[in-house]
């Protein structure tokens, strides 16, 4: 599978990071990453399995797909969208800035997803007001549904 130059840079960055942190990037994990990097929209585990089958002519079981997605999510290379049960590659892997709490702007029309960071101060404020209500937060990630700029101005 051919990646564009910036996509290849993302894969290289992940490989370097795995080499320095000792995370094991098996051939299968690398193939899964390649699919996620090349994807133009977020993928469900089943989308991933069918792409894997189509591209590599090899079967990927649902169990190993979920295991790999969990591994890649935990490592911070991939994000999981809880509201849609889909996965997407982090779009800030080759950035120099620190990774902020990700917020996802999900277009309900074309299903494009934009990953933006939220200012630390704003995030802290949000979390403290949530805590005050006695609610305990599992994940600070925000997933906001709406219309992207393209769909807004067709």
- Could you list the residues that contact Zn ion (CB under 5 A)? 90, 92, 95, 102, 107, 109-110, 112, 148, 151
3-class DSSP state for residue 55?
helix
* Cβ nearer to Zn ion, comparing 38 with 147: 147
Element (DSSP H or E) covering residue 114: strand 113-117
* Cβ nearer to Zn ion, comparing 31 with 80: 80
* Cβ nearer to Zn ion, comparing 64 with 123: 123
* Cβ nearer to Zn ion, comparing 15 with 112: 112
3-class DSSP state for residue 105?
strand
List b or e across 32-44, with b for residues whose CB sees 16 or more CB atoms inside 10 angstroms: bbbbbbbbeebbe
| DSSP string across 9-54 | HHHHHHHHHHHHHT----HHHHHHHHHHHH-SS-B-HHHHHHHHHH
Minimal distance in Å, beta carbon 95 to Zn ion?
3
**Can you tell me which residue has the tokens 């590599």?**
56
Minimal distance in Å, beta carbon 97 to Zn ion?
6
* Cβ nearer to Zn ion, comparing 24 with 97: 97
Nearest to 76 by CA among 13, 127, 138: 13
Minimal distance in Å, beta carbon 78 to Zn ion?
9
Minimal distance in Å, beta carbon 32 to Zn ion?
17
Minimal distance in Å, beta carbon 11 to Zn ion?
15
Q: How far apart are CA 94 and CA 9, in angstroms?
A: 7
């Amino acid at each position: 599978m051919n990646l564009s130059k910036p996509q290849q840079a993302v894969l290289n960055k992940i490989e370097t990071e795995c080499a320095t942190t000792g995370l094991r990037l098996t051939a299968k994990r690398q193939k899964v990453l390649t699919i996620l990097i090349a994807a133009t929209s977020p993928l469900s585990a089943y989308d991933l399995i069918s792409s894997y089958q189509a591209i590599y002519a090899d079967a990927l079981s649902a169990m190993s797909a979920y295991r790999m997605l969990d591994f890649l999510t935990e490592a911070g290379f991939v994000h999981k969208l809880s509201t849609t049960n889909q996965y997407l590659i982090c779009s800030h892997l080759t950035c120099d800035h620190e990774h902020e709490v990700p917020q996802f702007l999900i277009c309900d029309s074309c299903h494009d997803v934009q990953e933006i960071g939220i200012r630390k101060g704003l995030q802290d404020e949000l979390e403290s007001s949530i805590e005050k209500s006695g609610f305990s937060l599992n994940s600070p990630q925000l997933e906001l549904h709406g219309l992207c700029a393209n769909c807004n101005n067709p």
